[in-house]
Structure 1
Amino acid sequence: MLGRTASAIFWMYRYLERAENTARLLEAGHRMTMTRSEDMAVQEWRSVLATLGLQQAYEAKYSDFGGAQVCDFVLRAKDNSENVLSMIERARTNARAARSSITGEVWEAINEGWMTLSNLLKKPVSSGTLNQSLGAVRRVSTMVRGTTHGSMLRNEAYSFSRLGTFIERADKTARILDVKYYLLLPSLSYVGTPLDTGQWDTVLRSLSAERAYRWLNAGRMDARSIADFLILDDRFPRSLVFCYSELRDTMADLAKFHGSEAEAHEHMRQFDMRLRDTSVENIFDRGLHEFLLDFIANNQLLASAIGSDYRFNS
């Protein structure tokens, strides 16, 4: 497979995963602010923007934190180069570049999804259209993922789609967890208060993890239990361990296709073993923030190694 085709597929699925995670984070923030005081609602939206790395850009333009205004900025603002509509458009552009390596069903799913979302986001987002817009973002990703699983050969193209998906998913899970733990909680005095519990609930909802976590933990809402679930529980499809299990299997498939391993495979083994050999006690003894920063850096190193080995810039 040509490097530019591999790159297009890899980034197509990274952008789709990124857009979906962003939509879920906005949806969780919106849901939480509906039951919060005005001051706490502002804090929730600040936390969403901080998680997305957009707080500085937003505050340079706005001084207030209305929910519809925040969501409009994240979803469609032209002066926000990382808006969700741009992510979907980039995914579509990459899909077009890889048309010969994806199925017609996959192309139709992303093309139709982009057209639907573009139409919805022609006008500023309002409270009345927010849920519809966020649902449309999630459906684009869901439809493309479904048609990918249901129609594509399990070949190199499929492998690069999986790599893009799980590199991005692992990155976003780690960043959401890190921002909550390190940046969002105003003071240690808030630990165990309704503000603390509500923010952890937002983290779980933004990762579609709230129901699964409560099933397994009988309502416990503390940092250690949630970190254990989001990092080390291989039953949850957005946990770091689950993402790296998928990456490990996909990298093994690529080695079979090419008849040899490359530098990225060695990085994969080292990171995966380090992750699987740790425990939540070791993570907290070292420091959750430090662990997550290290994970994010290693995850990016793996993405770069994949790009280098397979002849594209990641």
Structure 2
Amino acid sequence: MLCRTASDLYWASRHMERAENTARLIDVALRIAMLPERYDRGKAEAVSWRRALDALDLSDVVLEKYGRIDAETVLRHLLLATDNPASVFNCFRGAREAARAQRVAITAEMYEDLNTSWLEIRGRSWGRLQSDGVNNLLEWVKSRSASFRGVTIGTLGRGEGYQFLQLGAFIERADWAIRLLDIAGSEPHVQTGRDAEDTVDYFRWSALLQALSAFETYRRLYRSSVSAARVAELMLLEQSNPRSLLTCASTLHEVLKTLAGGETMEVVRLAGSLSAQSRYARIDDILDTGLQPWLQDAMARLSTLGDEIQRQFMVSTEVAQAQSQSQSQAK
């Protein structure tokens, strides 16, 4: 498959997955902002929205652009901002443009689905968002992502194009499994009574599960009350959770083995290493050594894997040769 085709399919899928997970991030922030008061009302909301931006490394950008961080500025920037390349608006546009460039590589139903999403998001405005309600837009974004995923599974042949679409979706989903866990797990604590703190933690982790559509899955797997350790285990190490880091890493490894066609490739080794790390880790050991260092290491591994995927499959021969020559000269 041509590098350009592989890249367009890969990024079309990543854009749609990113749009959905941005909606889920906002859902988490909205729910956490309404938790029982640990601070005064204004500070609780500020912490929630700042944590959402910190998860995306966008706090400084939003503060510089709007002069403040609150619900309105974060929603504007993450949902509809045309100058934010990762906004939901631009994710839909990017997915549609990538699909339009590769219409012969996908089905007509797939392109029509993406085109419909783009035309609808293009007609959204801040005024309409306020009148319709943020939650309605978030649910619409999630449903459009699910629609594209469904029509892809239902209509596209299982060739290389399908594999690159899977590759984009699962590397993006793995990245967000870490980011979404980080926003709930890293919220600052204050001194409270034991009962009050337990109540807040229960609602905070429950909010994360509900935003990820994973509350029922949690209840089926764990009979105990919602706790940080079990939620972290569900999101990182549980094979039956379709959005867990383990599920994503295992899928990436299998897809890359298929694309490698039996050849020995560094990209396959990297995916296998991440999959093994997730498969054989134990949540008690992770929490004993520190959740944040483990998440940072996993994120670094994902970043390296993404770079290697780009280099291996999506850089033209001429560019790869130029890069190799430049590296040789530098040595």
TM-score past 0.5 threshold: yes
Report the counterpart of residue 171 of structure 2 in structure 1.
167
In structure 2, what residue type is equivalent to 1:277? Y
Which of 307, 310, 317 lines up with 1:307 in the alignment?
310
Report the counterpart of residue 202 of structure 1 in structure 2.
207
Write the distance in 1 (CA, Å) between the matches of 2:315 and 2:215: 37
Please list, as runs of the form range in 1=range in 2, the aligned pairs for 1:154-233 lying within 5 A after superposition. 154-182=158-186, 184-187=187-190, 192-233=197-238
Deviation at 1:112, TM superposition (A): 0.6
Report the counterpart of residue 146 of structure 1 in structure 2.
150
**Number of paired residues?**
309
Report the counterpart of residue 274 of structure 1 in structure 2.
277
Please list, as runs of the form range in 1=range in 2, the aligned pairs for 1:1-314 lying within 5 A after superposition. 1-34=1-34, 38-39=41-42, 40-60=44-64, 61-63=66-68, 65=70, 67-121=71-125, 123=127, 125-126=129-130, 128-182=132-186, 184-187=187-190, 192-256=197-261, 260-312=263-315
| SS class of match (1:95) | helix
Check conservation: 1:72, 1:124, Cα contact below 8 A: no
| SS class of match (1:297) | helix
Write the distance in 2 (CA, Å) between the matches of 1:252 and 1:79: 37
CA 151–232 in structure 1, closer or farther in 2 if over 3 Å, else same: same
| SS class of match (1:30) | helix
Write the distance in 2 (CA, Å) between the matches of 1:35 and 1:270: 38
TM-score, normalising length: structure 2: 0.85
Write the distance in 2 (CA, Å) between the matches of 1:288 and 1:188: 21
Check conservation: 1:114, 1:140, Cα contact below 8 A: no
Deviation at 1:251, TM superposition (A): 1.7
Q: CA RMSD in A?
A: 2.4
| SS class of match (1:221) | coil
Write the distance in 1 (CA, Å) between the matches of 2:32 and 2:129: 18
User: Which 10-residue stretch deviates more, 152-161 or 294-303?
Assistant: 294-303
Write the distance in 2 (CA, Å) between the matches of 1:15 and 1:140: 12
Write the distance in 2 (CA, Å) between the matches of 1:169 and 1:246: 11
Write the distance in 1 (CA, Å) between the matches of 2:287 and 2:36: 30
Larger radius of gyration: 2
Deviation at 1:189, TM superposition (A): 6.2
| SS class of match (2:243) | coil
Identify unmatched segments of 5+ residues in structure 1: none
Identify unmatched segments of 5+ residues in structure 2: 317-331
Write the distance in 2 (CA, Å) between the matches of 1:280 and 1:291: 10
Write the distance in 2 (CA, Å) between the matches of 1:89 and 1:104: 17
In structure 2, what residue type is equivalent to 1:290? P
Superposition misfits of 4+ residues, deviation over 6 angstroms: 188-191
TM-score, normalising length: structure 1: 0.89
In structure 2, what residue type is equivalent to 1:255? A
Deviation at 1:265, TM superposition (A): 1.1
Write the distance in 1 (CA, Å) between the matches of 2:98 and 2:60: 29
In structure 2, what residue type is equivalent to 1:226? V
